[in-house]
């Protein structure tokens, strides 16, 4: 959602530039560009302010995205940790005993882990 807002701000901020450069635009878009150009106060400070706001919003969205990835990875790490602990407590002993006895089939054919734990 915030990425959309940042994109919308960037598009609105660039309308006056497109109008100034003479890009062909539909009449409704040219009217919007003229309205945006009419907002100018002391030069293009409004454009700078919109750019700063868009940059801040983009930084927030990027940081939030990284936090979401960290939460997802933490959940996966906890699940993997639980699975490994289960294997160590219940299945690893039989595989180690089989390896010590020289039985390759016991080592390769570990019993399945708890249902639903993976």
Half-sphere exposure of 9 (CA within 13 A, CB side): 19
Q: Give the model's confidence band at 113: pLDDT under 50 very low, under 70 low, under 90 confident, else very high.
A: low
pLDDT at res. 118? 44
pLDDT at res. 116? 46
Reply yes or no on whether the pLDDT at 106 is more than 80: no
Taking the model in full, what pTM does it have?
0.36
* Mean pLDDT for the stretch of residues 6-20: 72
Q: Cα(54)–Cα(73) distance, rounded to whole angstroms? A: 29
* Mean pLDDT for the stretch of residues 64-91: 82
Q: Cα(29)–Cα(38) distance, rounded to whole angstroms? A: 14
Reply yes or no on whether the pLDDT at 117 is more than 70: no
**DSSP result, 48-93:** HHHHHHHHHHHHHHHHHHHHHHHHHHHHHHHHHHHHHHHIIIIIHH
The residue among 13, 1, 15 whose CA lies nearest residue 52 is 13
Tokens representing 51 are 């750019």
């Amino acid at each position: 959602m915030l990425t959309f807002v940042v994109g919308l701000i960037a598009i609105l901020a660039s309308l006056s530039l497109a109008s100034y450069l003479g890009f062909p635009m539909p009449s409704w878009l040219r009217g919007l560009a003229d309205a945006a150009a009419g907002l100018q106060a002391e030069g293009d400070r409004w454009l700078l302010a919109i750019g700063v706001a868009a940059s801040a919003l983009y930084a927030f969205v990027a940081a939030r995205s990284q936090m979401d990835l960290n939460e997802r990875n933490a959940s996966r790490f906890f699940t993997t940790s639980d699975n490994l602990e289960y294997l160590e407590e219940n299945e690893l002993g039989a595989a180690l005993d089989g390896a010590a006895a020289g039985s390759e089939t016991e080592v390769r054919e570990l019993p399945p882990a708890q249902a639903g734990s993976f």
